Amino acid sequence: MREHDFEPIRGLPGDLPAGERILWQGAPRWTSLAADAFHIRVVAAYFLLMFVFRTAGGLQHGEAPAAVLGSAALASPPAFVAVGMLALLAWLYAKTTVYTITNKRVVVRFGVAITKAINLPFTVIEGAALKTTAGGAGDVALKLKSPTRVPFFQVWPNVRPWRLSQPEPTLRGVADAASAADILAQAMRAEVGIEMTPQTAPVRERPVGLGRPNAAAA
């Protein structure tokens, strides 16, 4: 029996109510989580700089090249372990996370040791911001209406970085972030009348929409 076999529908804590349907499902790419959430490149660069500085310092002080390289190489096992553990954690988080957009809400199911799920009805979502990379992957961050609030550290890494005072649940590292944002915009327009008009060209970061209810929905 697999960890999430108990789910009636993949990524959801229960059956869908009458009238609700899934519009989109996705998951973070583990490589995106490794780079952006676990900062694996920063850690790797740190160990590389340690190796370079140790080697340069030893040669500058007249040590034999073989001895210098041997001493500097002692930092290699901890580096491989640290980078490997971060990669493994990113893979586990990606494997156990599912993002779902229905015609009424956004659901984030996550958790490596303990499975959790947060339900965000469209009525509590004020707007969103889309951040994409050249390859089309990216994040869709959801701005919540006050006083709705999610605990930053309990939801991490599925939150927008550094928004500690007003955490924004985020669909992180999804393969086609622009498509997810478009689907969300259309669903919110149809359900609660909020106009969200995301551009089609990928950019680093832009608002998906902070619209007001239109006259028909008012």
As a CATH number, domain 22-28+97-209 is 2.30.29
134 band by pLDDT with thresholds 50, 70 and 90: confident
Calpha distance 2→94 (Å, rounded): 16
Query: 16 vs 60, which has greater pLDDT?
Result: 16
Residues 6+ apart with CB under 8 A from 157: 33, 37, 38, 93, 172
Calpha distance 209→188 (Å, rounded): 10
3-state helix vs strand vs coil in the chain, percent to 5: 35, 25, 40
Determine the pLDDT at residue 200.
37
Determine the pLDDT at residue 202.
37
For residue 28, CA distances in Å to 23, 140, 190, 209 come to: 17, 11, 26, 22
**Domain extents in the chain:** 22-28+97-209, 36-92
Determine the pLDDT at residue 136.
77
Please check whether residue 118 is in contact with residue 169, taking contact to mean a CB–CB distance below 8 angstroms: yes
Torsion angles phi and psi, residue 81, rounded to 5: -65, -45
pTM over 0.75: yes
For all residues of the chain together, what is the average pLDDT? Answer: 83
Average pLDDT over residues 2-30: 85
3-state secondary structure of 60: helix
Determine the pLDDT at residue 217.
30
- State pLDDT tens for residues 84-133: 999 999 999 999 999 999 999 999 999 988 889 999 999 999 988 899 88
Distance of CA 177 to the CA centre of its chain: 11
- State pLDDT tens for residues 20-48: 999 999 999 999 999 999 999 999 998 88
Calpha distance 27→95 (Å, rounded): 8
Calpha distance 180→101 (Å, rounded): 8
- State pLDDT tens for residues 52-63: 777 777 767 777
